[in-house]
A and B are shown apart, each in its own frame.
Chain A
Amino acid sequence: MPIITYREAIRQAIDEEMQRDESVFILGEEVAQYDGAYKVTQGLWKKYGSERVIDTPIVEAGFTGIAIGAAMAGLRPIVEWMTFNFSLLALDQVVNNAAKMLYMSGGQIKVPIVFRGPNGPAEFLSSQHSQAFQSYYAHIPGLKVVAPSTPYDAKGMLKSAIRDDNPVVFLEAELMYAWQGEVPEGEYLLPLNKADIKRQGKDITLITYSKPIKVVQEAARQLEKEGISSEIIDLRSLRPIDEETLYASVRKTNRCVVCDESWPVASVGSHVAWLISKNCFDDLDAPVELVCSEDVPMPYNHTLELAVQPSVEKVVAAARKVLYL
C-alpha cells in the first residue's frame, strides 16, 4: 500500500470528490494560486480553475456565510479556514445558520457543507493562534464533527464528509500534516460516526482523538514495558460519539483514561469521561481520569507550551493512578 502524508490524504479526498461531483468546490484564504497556507490544496487551482478553487477576501464570516448560502442552493462547498483560531469570526454563521437551517425549514433546506482546517495547538504560535476549539463545535446540535488521526482515516472520512448532506466540521492539525501512513489506492469511504480501536488491550482503556493519539500510543508502549496492556480508542467522531464502542471496551478493562488536548471545562474529553462514569458505573474499578491542557492560554515559550499540554508522562501517570500502581 502506498504511504502518504496526512496532507496528501486530504488533498486526494478533495481532488477525487471534485472530480466526481461538479457541485463540489473549495474556498478560503490563499487556497488557490498560493496552494493553501498549509499546502493542502496544492495543484487544485491549476486543475480546476478559479470557479471551483476560490481565493476569498479576508473575511471569515463572509466566505463562511456565502458558502452556507451556496449549499442551501444545492452546491457542496468545502470551506477552508486558515486555522480554527480564525473560525471564531465565522462562528455565528456556523452555529446559527448552517447547523439550524434544516431544523428551521422543517427538514426542507439541506446544508451539505464541510468546514475544515488545522485545529489545536501547534508550536511557537502563542495564545491567540494555538487553540483547540473542538468542544465549541461538538456542542452544537445540527453539526457533525470529526477529527481523524491518520491519513487513512482522514481520506475516507473527508470523502464521506463531502458527500454528507449535513454540515460537517472536519478537524485537522498543523502538526499532523506531515504524519505518514498507508492509504490504499482507489476509492474507499469511512463512516462519520464510528470510533476505531487503534490498539487492542485488556487492562486499561485509553480514549483520545486527533493529534494526542501519538502521545497516547507512546504511553501505551511504556505501560507495556511494565506489563500493562492498553486498549486505545480513537474517537474519530466527536459528534455523534460512538458510545457503544467505548462502553464495550471499558466493560472489558474496567479502567479508563481520557486524553483530550482542549481545556477541561465542558470539553469533549470531560463529556466522554462523564458518559463512561454514568454508563459503566458498575464496571469501573477506579474513577475515570481526564488528561487535558492546563486551564490557561497557550504560552509562547516552548518549554512552557509543552508543559501545559497532555504529555506521555501525564498519560502514564493517570493510567497508573486508575490502576492503583
Chain B
Amino acid sequence: MFTEYDPLKDTMLQILDCSGNIINPKFMPDLSMAQIKEAYNWMLYARIADIKAVSYQRQGRMYTYPPNLGQEASALGSAMALGKEDWMIPAYRELAAWLYRGVTLKDVYLFWGGHEDGGKFSNAKNIIPPCVPIGSQTLHAVGIAYSLKYKKQNSIALTYIGDGGTSEGDFHEAMNYAGVWRVPLVFVCQNNQYAISTPRNKQTAAKSLAIKAIGYGLKGIQVDGNDFFAVYAAATAAAKEVRSGGMPIFIECITYRQGAHTTSDDPTRYREKEEEEIWLQRDPLKRLKAYLVQKQEWHEEEDRKLQSQYEKEIEEQFAQAERHPYPLKDVFQYMYVETPENLRKQHIEYEKFLNWKETQKWQ
C-alpha cells in the first residue's frame, strides 16, 4: 500500500466513493458486516454528541468547543487500528477516537466544561489529555513510543495533528526524531483544509502534507479522510508495519471541517458556501450509510431509532457532567504528587479570605 500510494506519486487512497460504492476492492479492509455497522454506530454517536456539544455551548452550559462535524471517519478509522495496550496522543478534534478509546462522553463534556476531572479520562487506558500548544503533543508521542520500545513492549503509539499543526517546529522535530530513533509511531494528520481561517495552501508550498514524511526518512500516505474504509485500511497497515519495527508512518487524511473552528468562530467570513456544499456531498457518515443501505444492512427507520436512542443517552451523559461539583480544593490538589507545605498554606489563606468575604472579619 505504501509503495503504491507513495506521496511522490501524488495519489490518494480511496476505497468508498461518495455514493457508497467500493471502487478499490484491492484495499478493502477485512471487516465483518457487524464491525462495519459498529463503526457506523460510533460515528453516528460521535456526531450527535458533537452537535449537542455545540448547542450546549450556545445555551451557555458549556465553554468553547471545537466541532468535529465531518471528520468522524478520520478519527474513528485511525483509532480502530489501535490495540488495548497501544497509546493515543490526541490533538483535540478527534472526538470519535476518544470515545472509541473508552473515554466516557461525560468526561468529554467535563473536559470541555473546564473540569480537571474530565482530563482524567478515567475509563480509558493509555491516552493523555490534549496539549493546547499546537504540535507539542507529537513530541510526547515520540517519547511515549520510545518508552514502549525501551521497555520492549509490543505496543505502538498514534498521534493526531491538524494541517495547521504541520507548520510548527515541534511537529518537524517529532518527525525527525521519530525517524532517527525508529520508534513505533503513526502520525495521523487530519487535513481539514483550515487552521482557524488559514487555508491549507497558506501553510505550506508543498504539494501535499504526506510528502513531508519523505524528508525525514518516514513513509507517508494520503488518504480520503471522509472514507472510513480508506482511513481504517491505511491506519491498520501502518500500525502493523510500525509494530514490527518498520519506520514510523505519516497518514494525511483529506477531510473537511464542516463546522466552525470553535464555537467562537464564524467561518462564513472566510469561506464560500459553494465549497461547503461540495464537501457535504463527501460527508463520511452519508457515505458509510449509503454503503450499508445498498447492502440492505441498514435503513432509514433503524437510523432514526438509533439516533433518538443516542440522543437520550447523550443527554444523560451531559446531565451527569452538569451535576459534577467544582470544589476549590481541586485546583490545589493536582499540582504535585504530594502537595507541598507552601501550597497547602495558600489554600488555607484562600479559605480564610472566603471566610472574610462572608463575615468581613479576618480570623
Given contacts A73-B144, A240-B343, contact A97 B136 (CB under 8 A): yes
Minimum CB–CB distance from A109 to chain B (whole Å) comes to: 6
A73:B340 contact, CB within 8 angstroms = no
Binary CB contact string for chain A from 136 to 169 against chain B (1 if under 8 A, 0 otherwise) = 0000011010000000000000000000111000
Binary CB contact string for chain A from 54 to 77 against chain B (1 if under 8 A, 0 otherwise) = 001101011111111111111101
**Cβ of B173 < 8 Å from any Cβ of A?**
yes
Interface members, chain B 309-349 (any A CB < 8 Å) = 330, 333-337, 340-343
B334:A66 contact, CB within 8 angstroms = no
**Cβ of B121 < 8 Å from any Cβ of A?**
yes
A-B Cβ contacts below 8 A, count: 139
Chain B positions within 8 Å of A77 at CB level:
143
**Cβ of B113 < 8 Å from any Cβ of A?**
no
Given contacts A68-B140, A72-B143, A97-B136, contact A105 B180 (CB under 8 A): no
A62:B173 contact, CB within 8 angstroms = yes
B contact patch SS: helix
A93:B139 contact, CB within 8 angstroms = yes
Chain A positions within 8 Å of B151 at CB level:
74-75
- Interchain CB contact (< 8 A) of B173 among A59, A69, A71, A241: A59
**Cβ of A211 < 8 Å from any Cβ of B?**
no
Given contacts A106-B120, A107-B120, A142-B336, contact A68 B139 (CB under 8 A): yes
Binary CB contact string for chain A from 221 to 258 against chain B (1 if under 8 A, 0 otherwise) = 00000000000000000001101000000000000000
**Cα distance A77–B141 when bound, in Å?**
15
Given contacts A97-B140, A108-B121, contact A73 B148 (CB under 8 A): yes
Binary CB contact string for chain A from 162 to 183 against chain B (1 if under 8 A, 0 otherwise) = 0011100000000000000000
A102:B335 contact, CB within 8 angstroms = yes
B177:A57 contact, CB within 8 angstroms = yes
**Cα distance A168–B41 when bound, in Å?**
45
- Interchain CB contact (< 8 A) of A108 among B122, B150, B342: B122
Minimum CB–CB distance from B127 to chain A (whole Å) comes to: 10
**Cα distance A193–B339 when bound, in Å?**
12
A96:B128 contact, CB within 8 angstroms = no
Residue of A nearest to B330 (CB): A106
Minimum CB–CB distance from B319 to chain A (whole Å) comes to: 20
**Cα distance A96–B180 when bound, in Å?**
26
Chain A positions within 8 Å of B335 at CB level:
102-103, 141-142
Give the residue among A62, A74, A97, A243 with the most B Cβ atoms within 10 A: A62
**Cα distance A55–B180 when bound, in Å?**
11
Minimum CB–CB distance from A25 to chain B (whole Å) comes to: 7
A241:B342 contact, CB within 8 angstroms = yes
**Cβ of B25 < 8 Å from any Cβ of A?**
no
B177:A66 contact, CB within 8 angstroms = yes
B140:A72 contact, CB within 8 angstroms = yes
**Cβ of B87 < 8 Å from any Cβ of A?**
yes
**Cβ of A101 < 8 Å from any Cβ of B?**
yes
Given contacts A56-B177, A96-B136, 19 further A-B contacts (CB under 8 A): A25-B150, A64-B139, A65-B139, A65-B143, A66-B140, A68-B139, A69-B140, A70-B146, A75-B146, A96-B133, A101-B128, A103-B116, A104-B129, A105-B120, A106-B334, A108-B119, A109-B128, A110-B337, A240-B340
